[in-house]
Chains A and B, each alone.
Chain A
Amino acid sequence: MSSQGTSTNNAKVLSGIRIVDFTWVRAGPWATRWLGALGAEVIKVEWPLREFGRGFGAQGTPPGIDPSLNSNGHFNDTNANKLSLSMNVRSPRGMEIIRNLISVSDVVVENYSAKVLENWGLGYEELKKLKPDIVYVSMSGFGHTGRDKHYTTFGPSAQALSGMTFASGLPGEQPAGWGWSYLDDTGGMYIAFNVLSAIYHRKMTGEGQHVDMGQMIMGATLNGSALLDITINGRSSEREGYPSGNRSHWPGSPMLNNYRDRTVAPHNTYRTKPEGYNDWCVIACFSDEEWRVLVELMGSPTWALDKKFDTVLGRLNNQEELDIGIESWTKTLEKYDVMQKCQESGVRCMPVQSNEDRAENDPQLRDRGMYQEVDHPVLGTWRLQNAPFKMHESPAVNYRHGPLIGQDNVEVIEGILGMTHEELRSGYDDGTFWPQELDKFPYQKEFLS
């Protein structure tokens, strides 16, 4: 089947699209990284010591490499496929250049708090004057309208406010929450998707627009059927047995759907050999047949043959005993072996994978080329994360490392904007392109010579 091949086509979805990128930290940069992979010319506008994503040196620098603004590994992955323009947008000259850049661009993206771009004189009405069909996508914590628009979020506070944190954990305990900024990753995805949607609309109609996103509001859309259970059935989520941990239902609590999936047992985490920190697997049986196969795999132990486990309801009502029994079996095997045995017989089971497992031990991700090496001038050669979709005609490709700060000033200032080399030099002399008090990197000295 031709659809299984890997395309050799280098066609780009966003060729000819120029994006002025004011994003910082994680959510926004994660968006423009994918737009870059899809072929857009992304110009990251930044100023040293303001982009927290660069880690300011020591944080995130691999062992053996001198910490600097260009040494953060996480930044490298989060900001691949972009150009970097170092520019003081808070200086009149810097702002004038930025306005010129916007007037020859297609998209402006930012994830600052609500008032920032407006305070810079770059609100949507102003952007339209610079480029009538501009696509402007913003994501602040709460959006640019509404009573709380001046409030701000990080991933964790947005997750707390949107109900996402509450939906994660064991019943009767405080929420486990999310161990990372899910709403930064997903916010980035939505920013990218909304840029693409607005570009498509512009292509069809010639019309640009402002897409005004709120991170916390986006989180609210991800609560699944829990919200309709409230607005339609009037059922509170503050109830016994909710959230139900990794089970679909917590024993002894009212028999209700808990918004993940079907209500079945077994449906839980189990320890595996040798019972280290990440030695766990998960097993779920969606039918009596799947359960019967699992019983056989476990060697038909006496406990599992008890009639009370024959039905879904029986298994749900006796989950404690059920889970202890299953775990006594999984503990005799390593997690990938449990997976293999189960999956070969059609039983739903996967290992809990750590970051190390995914990078080194997951044959599927390896086979699909999820992590591929890209050179970085300071860090050397490292694996970057690839797109989770394979487009056979116009693939998303990591074509470049996360840029060194200000690495592309010449290309943008002289190349795109057609300013002279003298103007470039004077911008460094007067502190527009780089703080006067800060040492320049060798590549910056080189392009000024």
Chain B
Amino acid sequence: MIVNQINDGPFSGVRILELADEKGHWCGKILGDLGADVIKIEPPGGEQTRTIGPFYDDEYHKERSLYFWHYNTSKRGVTLNLNTEDGRRIFKELSKTADVIIETFKPGHLDSLGVGYDVLKKDNKSLIFCSITPFGQSGPWRDFQTSDLLHLAAGGQMGSCGYDDIDGAPPIAPGGGQAWHMGSHYASMAIASALIYRADSGVGQYVDVSIHESCALTTEGAMSSWIYMGKTMIRQTGRHAGVAPSAPTQTLCKDGKYVNIQLIPMRLPPKQLETLANWMDQYGMADDLLDEKYKDTAVIQEMADHISETVRKFINNMTREDIYRGAQEMGFSWGAVRTHEELVTDGQLLDRGFWVDVEHPELGKTFSYPGSSAIWSSTKWRIGRRAPLIGEHNEQVYCDEMSMSKAEISMLSEINAI
């Protein structure tokens, strides 16, 4: 295969055709950044996710959506109109060269066009065909409309997120487009699995991913609280929902920022309390916590409220970074509540080479993109290229790889097939 010269991730040599909007573009990016040759197939004029903001310099343009840029790195882009006979014929040809197809159309849509899995597999027995849809390919909600917000409601995220100290506050849907992330995460897992299975057996398969199920599966202890205990969840500000109320963990510091503390005074071992009290004492704020009586766990239990209040006062009088770093150095897994931009200057992320430069040659610019959550010792995680421009690789794919002539491409564009 021609293409990405610097492909040496674990999925190097795997060709993926991606026909995906927001429901599946994260899956394509995950596999593409790990070396797969992802060809994004967009309708003529570009995929509609190009119209989602924010935009570069706030200038609306289909080639300037930061949303599209973020989710489509390491992909090549071609345009193809599946609503034309010529478009479908080319898609069938291209599918013969594919290891994986990712698609996010409504259930049954590609079948109705005559280019569904059952047709494509006839010419490509080892094809892995992954449909990522809101509710999967079957069931009473199969054809329902969705959005990120709708999924976080039905999936149970909102049932566990919110405020217990604001009257009438609604359940809260956390931000960042997480429903699409959850669906794409499990789709990536399934595709990697199907590739392993195929490497052993030579057999491809159909994979039916449900975003609703992916969300419903991503609520940690909520399901087992119901199944085993028959308890529903109480939403609590800045901390886990519980089957019963628990003490606040998100604590205000003197610089107006918050720190998330992991401290259950009732169950605090005497040794840890002593460590904490010694630290507080350096600032003259230990109150009586260094008293001998706190070596007794029964006293700690009895005085839990007092301990909690004393620690809270201490935190209120310190800066967030002093609390966060001080606690971590003593072995407490506390975390500073950080804004997005604080990640840009975070020392640990810098040390790990998290931020990577991505060139946008058409703009003559290089921008800093978020990178990998992991460091791989043998293979590489990398951003192979910025998101494709509309139809950027039409000539490369259709002419160089599929041996169509430039004249043919022009003609097909003219009749809106490409």
User: Using a CB-CB cutoff of 8 Å, which residues 271-301 of chain A contact chain B?
Assistant: 277-278, 280-282, 284, 286
Contacts of B30 in A (CB 8 A): 193
Indicate if the CB atoms of A225 and B192 lie closer than 8 Å.
no
Min distance, Cβ A64 to any Cβ of chain B, angstroms: 11
Contacts of A19 in B (CB 8 A): none
Indicate if the CB atoms of B145 and A347 lie closer than 8 Å.
yes
User: Could you write out 16 A-B pairs with CB less than 8 Å apart?
Assistant: A3-B131, A147-B351, A157-B262, A163-B339, A181-B220, A186-B185, A213-B374, A227-B70, A282-B158, A351-B153, A355-B223, A364-B141, A367-B139, A368-B136, A388-B217, A389-B213
Contacts of A1 in B (CB 8 A): 108, 111, 116-118
Cα A347 to Cα B146 in complex, Å, equals 9
Is B53 positioned at the interface, with any CB of A under 8 Å from its CB? Answer: yes
Cα A282 to Cα B376 in complex, Å, equals 41
Is A401 positioned at the interface, with any CB of B under 8 Å from its CB? Answer: no
Contact with B along A181-207 (1 / 0, CB 8 A): 110111001101110111111011001
Within 8 Å by CB of B171, from A210, A211, A348, A352, lies: A352
User: Using a CB-CB cutoff of 8 Å, which residues 207-239 of chain A contact chain B?
Assistant: 207-214, 216-218, 220-233, 235-238
Min distance, Cβ A77 to any Cβ of chain B, angstroms: 5
Indicate if the CB atoms of B240 and A233 lie closer than 8 Å.
no
Contacts of B186 in A (CB 8 A): 189, 387-389
Indicate if the CB atoms of B340 and A208 lie closer than 8 Å.
no
Indicate if the CB atoms of B192 and A261 lie closer than 8 Å.
no
Is B44 positioned at the interface, with any CB of A under 8 Å from its CB? Answer: no
Within 8 Å by CB of A180, from B71, B141, B221, lies: B221
Indicate if the CB atoms of B340 and A237 lie closer than 8 Å.
yes
Chain A residue at minimal CB-CB distance from B189 = A193
Cα A170 to Cα B208 in complex, Å, equals 35
Known A257-B52, A356-B232; judge A3-B216 contact (CB<8 A): no
Within 8 Å by CB of A389, from B141, B146, B187, lies: B187
Give 15 new A-B contacts, CB below 8 A, not counting A216-B348, A280-B171: A11-B197, A146-B348, A166-B340, A167-B174, A167-B175, A179-B162, A180-B221, A180-B240, A196-B189, A212-B377, A222-B181, A230-B340, A269-B171, A351-B153, A370-B213
Indicate if the CB atoms of A170 and B159 lie closer than 8 Å.
no
Contact with B along A1-29 (1 / 0, CB 8 A): 11110000001011000000000001000
Is A164 positioned at the interface, with any CB of B under 8 Å from its CB? Answer: yes
Is A112 positioned at the interface, with any CB of B under 8 Å from its CB? Answer: no
Is B378 positioned at the interface, with any CB of A under 8 Å from its CB? Answer: yes
Contacts of A141 in B (CB 8 A): 333
Known A2-B118, A368-B136; judge A348-B260 contact (CB<8 A): no
Cα A363 to Cα B140 in complex, Å, equals 7
- The stretch from A96-104, A308-316, A391-399, A416-424 touching chain B is A391-399
Cα A244 to Cα B176 in complex, Å, equals 11
Is B205 positioned at the interface, with any CB of A under 8 Å from its CB? Answer: yes
Is B414 positioned at the interface, with any CB of A under 8 Å from its CB? Answer: no
Known A74-B228, A161-B338, A226-B176; judge A174-B258 contact (CB<8 A): yes
Indicate if the CB atoms of B141 and A176 lie closer than 8 Å.
no
Min distance, Cβ B262 to any Cβ of chain A, angstroms: 6
Indicate if the CB atoms of B342 and A163 lie closer than 8 Å.
yes
For the side of the interface on A, what is the size category? 35 or more
Q: How many A-B residue pairs have CB under 8 A?
A: 549
Chain B residue at minimal CB-CB distance from A366 = B139
Contacts of B373 in A (CB 8 A): 190, 213-214, 217-218, 220-221
Min distance, Cβ B159 to any Cβ of chain A, angstroms: 5
Indicate if the CB atoms of B56 and A232 lie closer than 8 Å.
yes
Within 8 Å by CB of A224, from B138, B177, B203, lies: B177
Chain B residue at minimal CB-CB distance from A346 = B145
Contacts of A166 in B (CB 8 A): 337-340
Cα A237 to Cα B341 in complex, Å, equals 7
Indicate if the CB atoms of A243 and B118 lie closer than 8 Å.
no
Contacts of B34 in A (CB 8 A): 197
Indicate if the CB atoms of B367 and A178 lie closer than 8 Å.
no
Cα A60 to Cα B242 in complex, Å, equals 12
Within 8 Å by CB of A257, from B54, B137, B193, lies: B54
Indicate if the CB atoms of A261 and B147 lie closer than 8 Å.
yes
Contacts of A211 in B (CB 8 A): 374-377
Indicate if the CB atoms of B193 and A196 lie closer than 8 Å.
yes
Contact with A along B299-339 (1 / 0, CB 8 A): 00000000000000000000000000000100101111111
Is A354 positioned at the interface, with any CB of B under 8 Å from its CB? Answer: yes
Is B269 positioned at the interface, with any CB of A under 8 Å from its CB? Answer: no
Within 8 Å by CB of B66, from A76, A232, A359, lies: A232
Indicate if the CB atoms of A352 and B216 lie closer than 8 Å.
no
Cα A256 to Cα B236 in complex, Å, equals 28
Contacts of A207 in B (CB 8 A): 378
Chain A residue at minimal CB-CB distance from B146 = A348
Indicate if the CB atoms of A225 and B218 lie closer than 8 Å.
no
Known A165-B260, A352-B153; judge A179-B161 contact (CB<8 A): yes
Within 8 Å by CB of B219, from A38, A286, A355, A367, lies: A355
Chain B residue at minimal CB-CB distance from A215 = B373
Cα A364 to Cα B344 in complex, Å, equals 41
Contacts of A267 in B (CB 8 A): 147, 149
Cα A258 to Cα B176 in complex, Å, equals 8
Cα A197 to Cα B374 in complex, Å, equals 12
Indicate if the CB atoms of A26 and B214 lie closer than 8 Å.
no
Indicate if the CB atoms of A186 and B218 lie closer than 8 Å.
yes
Indicate if the CB atoms of B147 and A354 lie closer than 8 Å.
no
Min distance, Cβ A122 to any Cβ of chain B, angstroms: 15
User: Using a CB-CB cutoff of 8 Å, which residues 1-38 of chain B contact chain A?
Assistant: 10-11, 13, 22, 30, 34
